[in-house]
Amino acid sequence: MSSSVVLIVGPLFIGTVLNWSLQGLLTGQTYHFKVQFPKEKTWMKCFVYILFLLNLVQTLVTTSFAWDLLVAGWGVPAALASVPWSGAVHLALTGLISFIVQLFFCWQIWTIKKDVLVAKFVCVFIALVGLTQFVSVIIDSTQTTNLDFNAIPTKTLLGEIWLIGSFVADILIAVVMIAILVEARMNSRHSTTNDVLLRLIIQTVETGSLTAITAGVDLILFLKSPGNYLFLCPSLILGKLYTNAVVARLNSRRTSQTPHSTGVNVELGSQPSQQFEIHHLSQRNRGIVQSEERDLSFLK
């Protein structure tokens, strides 16, 4: 097998395996969301379930992509003469998933900082960047169908716009969310609230940096390695990372409470007020009583 073929099927194989792994993780996350939030608003449930279905379809399409090249096309050089339909559909679905998740985070920022003009401007800018990358990847996917594999690395403009847009949007979302949480933590005088905010800051850094780094690596591989297809691997998992990040964020709103420990319930999802509901539980001589229950505004 020539090195050029290995650099096509190798990243495709690894990316497909990782795609299925992340789909399994997303299935668990979605089930956890269903069990933990049975009274969640209908539109939020639809949002999560639609994202799950889109990712499931994307996984099946990615599997078809890998099957066409690795199984049906095994030992058939003509199989590499053109990109199958599944490769183009995968691109379109990834762009759609990315755009939906970016709009969700824009909605969160807008709701939390709706009285701050700069925040509104940033939200509009992120939405426009997301829309640009989405349109670019849709156009790119229509042009990719039946295109020779050797021609893909030379068609970089739309691919650049897509990956740069995703990278910029991810960075902006992470920076703004961290700034909001840091400000809220500085304004809070409650140690329990500070602990919650610190965990949210860490989680935002982790999820935001993961998607941004993946998009950045994909962009670098796409631009700096035009002679191979290493960019396929991060491209195949980008949509899954977006969805796992947002569902994990929603699931983190509730922490388990035990009779002998302090529990914190953090509402960062469908509640428009975006308030933290802090419940302090303390054990006293003859049992457990609720010592304090207080709603703190996310930001004054």
Q: What is the pLDDT tens value at each position of the chain, 300 positions in all?
A: 455 677 777 888 999 999 999 999 999 999 999 999 998 899 999 999 999 999 999 999 999 988 888 877 676 666 666 777 888 888 889 989 999 998 998 888 888 777 888 888 888 998 998 898 888 888 877 776 656 555 555 556 777 788 888 888 888 888 887 787 777 777 766 666 666 666 666 666 666 778 888 888 888 888 877 667 788 889 899 889 999 989 988 887 764 333 333 444 444 544 433 333 333 333 333 333 333 333 334 433
Residue with tokens 């920076």: 175
Query: Are residue 95 and residue 223 in the same domain, yes or no?
Result: yes
Instruction: Give which of 86, 67, 61, 84 is closest to 9, Cα–Cα.
Output: 67
pLDDT for the residue 267: 45
Residue ranges making up the domain that contains 53: 3-171+205-251
Residue with tokens 């396929």: 232
Number of domains making up the chain? 2
Token digits of residue 53? 């279905």
Query: Are residue 138 and residue 274 in the same domain, yes or no?
Result: no
Q: Is residue 139 part of a domain?
A: yes
Q: Is residue 182 part of a domain?
A: no
pLDDT for the residue 59: 95
**How far is CA 5 from each of CA 62, 75, 122, 223, 275, rounded to the nearest angstrom?**
18, 11, 43, 19, 54
Query: Are residue 243 and residue 293 in the same domain, yes or no?
Result: no
Query: Are residue 42 and residue 143 in the same domain, yes or no?
Result: yes
Query: Are residue 288 and residue 239 in the same domain, yes or no?
Result: no
Query: Are residue 282 and residue 220 in the same domain, yes or no?
Result: no
pLDDT for the residue 241: 92
pLDDT for the residue 266: 43
Q: Is residue 179 part of a domain?
A: no
The torsion angles phi and psi of 158, rounded to 5 degrees, stand at -65, -35
Query: Are residue 210 and residue 289 in the same domain, yes or no?
Result: no
Distance CA 286, CA 278 (A): 23
Query: Are residue 240 and residue 218 in the same domain, yes or no?
Result: yes
